[in-house]
Structure 1
Amino acid sequence: MESRMTLSSDVLQYHRRMLVSAAVRAGYAHTCRYEEPAARREIARMTGVVMSVCGPGRGPNTPTMLVEALHHPLAQVAPELFAGSGMGDLTVLDDGELSDDVYAEGCEDIVELLSGGVDPARRWLPTWAWMHGELVETEAFQLINEGATEAEYTAHRYFVVKQPAGGERQLAELFSQAVGMRKSVRYLPIPADQVFRGRCWWPCPVCQWPMHIDGTEVRCRFSLHNAVYFVRADSARGRPLLQRRDGGVPRQPAAQSFQREGAQRSVCVETAVWRHIVVSGVSEIYLFERLEALKEQGVEVELWPGKDRYDLLVRVPATGWEMRIDVKDYGCAVSLADKLRRKPPAARTIVIPDYRGQAQRDELAELLPNLEVLLVSEVLKAVKAQVRKAARR
């Protein structure tokens, strides 16, 4: 009986991920239906996927109905699939455009809808709309993984997180100095919706990736970076200035000149790499650098040991204490717990950013009783306690 219940739960979770994936693909297709000839066909195909997941007589059964449904939380499409899951709050379209929720939360539940590699939409769909996170990482780093030392891998990944955008020649020079290799993750021209009037772009103060521009609003699409501004004026040098939305928004970044062509053309990592490597990497490096600062007090820390077998190995040799850590930054605790049950982590301690909050920490601890779940601040507190313990010896 128990195995049947587990199987039923697994099927339910997979169907939920299928519906999220189909909704995201249909939403993207809707936004480019006038430019891409195959977009309307894709919406129709995804309508079929949604109908199959929802079952007879349930959910939208025409492309028009699906597009309308995507302007509302997905829980309204299939309430039973999203019971107990925060993904039900995902709204794919906002006034006909992709919502920031798609980038912040929807990308987490993407699965491959068509097996065997026969997916005609891959010719024009962005990779983040059909490729799950592990596949993004594999593809991004496969150029250097074979033959690279562990130190080279770590240096490469660190560089990508710290330098996700900039001038092409400058990035190449910095990469050569920092990593010492020729092969790099692919950088592409900064998309038009991240450039202000063809003149400049702004890096998010948290992740450094070019922020989205909507008229005079400038914001990072990862909403928890809390970076939302408004263009308020032009400076004497001709570069526009930003106005913070409120006092809680980070200090406004300086405008970066946009170069369309030439050796210094403005480039950035593609969206899938930003979302699945840079965003998560920001939290991993934040914790690493704060632990590294305790080195003189007897703390040893390794970043991405074994070519990212897990994220951090922390030791305090004086007390014999160590912790293996996987940093996870997911909007939906249920989705994250499901992922970790399907693919158990090499580390036994799961750490989430403080902005995910105590509530998510407690929910994950309940969902994953065999793993330790901590906030970043709790890890730092635990390490400092070990430092004090060592000092008393």
Structure 2
Amino acid sequence: MTQWLTGARDDPAERAHRVVAAALRAAYAWSVRKDRRDAMREVARMTGVVMEAHGPGRGPTTPLDLVACLRQPLGLLPALAEDPDQAIAQVVLLDGHDRLTADAYDLASEYALPVGDLGNSAQWLPTWTWMQADRIRDETFIALIEGNGQERYVASRRFLIEHPAGPLSDLRDLVSKSGVSLPRRGYTAIPDDHLHRSSGGETWWWPCAVCRWPMAVAGTTVRCRYRPHAAVYRLTEGGTARSRPRLSRVDEGRPRLTTPVARSAVDTGCVEFGVWRFVVVPGASELRVKRSLEELGAAVELWPELDRYDLRVRVGDKELKLDLKEYRSPYRLIADLRAKAPSVRILLPKTHEYQLQTLRTALPSLRVTTETKLYTEVRRALRTV
């Protein structure tokens, strides 16, 4: 009777995953309840999912009970009390103003699942709150592959990564001239919480120095929603009400990042959040690794055989096949690798090299390397060519 909720597997890890997914959807719905008439109905539906996952007498039993839990660490929910992913257990989804927290966007989004019935909520719930990352990626890649050969597919995917936001007229011209394909939803309006409105009525946005997608704006703090793109900036208004606002770096991260300049938001769009988070973000790392390997002297092919894997690296007669994995949660990565065993070596980018031992412990037969180890391997191979 609960098969529509539970699916074929129903072990504790799967129940914990459902709880996080339902909590994320409920948190988003609660955050927009003043604008969406059926938001409370969505919170109630997700309360039912959470109750089912916990079983009788455990966990929140009313929508308001669930909302109260969303303002606290998720690990306080019984289903997550013993979850090995302590990072997700520490996540709080709603802040003191009942807005989604940075961790909700950054980490909890990896736990999204199609739990329960979407109903009318499909019209306003963002895909990243209910659609698995793999499905978002697959939908995007299918749109890029359809009717295209390898060369055009690579060009289309690279275009998406290199142009995740910008003036719509410029983007239309670039698409027309290059002949690339776009995802079904194309470019959408920049989210309101990624815009700054100056006192003179001008609206501005800033591209992340790493992934080029609009950074989030919270008061005078500006930063990319993806935490590994760690630069944090303070916003300062311009000299006049209509002049361009400025950013100054306030964290102690990578000093070589260029401080972004404010751009007008008039007639500007970006790829939707899910495409950015699960296609553009890892894609930016894939392109960076490609450039670094080519600077060393290796030959690199992107997304061979219509994306069977990410990178084919050739050094003389030596060939390396690699799939870059950029998950914030190593436990979600482990679960996905168990569900679908990789056919090539897994590559962890520099920002995620700390996950290496966790992966090797959980999956001892997994072929995995890090970006640093890969460069060392390629340098050694080049010395013998």
Superposition TM-score, scaled by structure 2 size: 0.90
Aligned to 1:282: 284
After superposition, give the CA deviation of every residue in 1:305-346 in whole Å (9 maximum; x if it has no partner). 1121111111212xx322211111112212111101101123
Conservation of the 8 A alpha-carbon contact between 1:194 and 1:213: yes
Structure 2 residue ranges without an equivalent (≥5)? 1-7
Does the Cα contact within 8 Å between 1:244 and 1:251 map onto a contact in 2?
Answer: no
SS in 2 for 1:111: coil
Equivalent in the alignment of 1:346: 343
Give the corresponding residue for 2:311. Answer: 312
CA contact (8 A) 2:46 2:116 kept: no
- Counterpart of 2:360 in structure 1 is 365
* 2:231 matches 1:227: yes
CA contact (8 A) 1:16 1:82 kept: no
Report whether the alignment pairs 1:203 with 2:199: no
Shift of 1:292: 2.3
Q: Secondary structure at the match of 1:223?
A: coil
Equivalent positions of 1:1-393 (< 5 A) are: 11-78=11-78, 82-86=82-86, 87-95=88-96, 96-114=98-116, 119-177=119-177, 179-181=178-180, 186-197=186-197, 198-234=202-238, 238-248=243-253, 250-259=257-266, 265-294=267-296, 297=297, 299-317=298-316, 320-347=317-344, 349-358=345-354, 360-390=355-385
Shift of 1:303: 0.6
Please tell me the root mean square deviation across aligned C-alpha atoms, in Å: 2.1
Q: Structure 1: which 4+ aligned runs deviate by more than 3 Å?
A: 79-82, 141-144, 181-185
Q: How far is the alpha carbon of 1:149 from its aligned partner?
A: 0.5
How big is the shift at 1:268? 0.4
Q: Which amino acid aligns with 1:74?
A: L
Cα drift, residue 153 of structure 1: 0.8
DSSP 3-state at the match of 2:382? helix
Percent identity of equivalent pairs: 38
CA gap 1:309/1:324 in 2 versus in 1, 3 angstroms: same
Check conservation: 2:311, 2:321, Cα contact below 8 A.
yes
Matching residue of 1:4: none
**1:365 is aligned with what amino acid?**
R
**1:242–1:72 Cα change, 3 Å:** same
Q: CA deviation at 1:100?
A: 1.1
Shift of 1:182: 5.8
SS in 2 for 1:234: coil
- 2:5 aligned residue: none
Give the whole-Å Cα distance in 1 for the aligned partners of 2:362 and 2:380. Answer: 27
What is the one-letter code of the residue matched to 2:265? F
1:241 maps to amino acid: R
TM normalised by structure 1 equals: 0.88
CA distance, structure 2, for counterparts of residue 70 and residue 14 of structure 1? 19
Matched to 2:74, the amino acid is L
State the 1:41 CA deviation: 0.8
* Aligned counterparts of 1:44 and 1:51: Cα–Cα separation in 2: 11
Measured at CA, do residues 280 and 386 of structure 1 come closer, stay the same or move farther in structure 2, by a change above 3 Å? same
Q: Which runs of 5+ in 1 are unaligned?
A: 1-7, 260-264
Contact 1:156 1:184 in 2 (8 A): no
How far off its partner does 1:242 sit? 0.8
Secondary structure of 1:221's partner? coil
Residues 223-276 of structure 1 deviation map (CA, whole Å, 9 limit, x = unaligned) = 1111221112415881111121123264320111121xxxxx101001111111
| SS of structure 2 residue aligned to 1:337 | helix
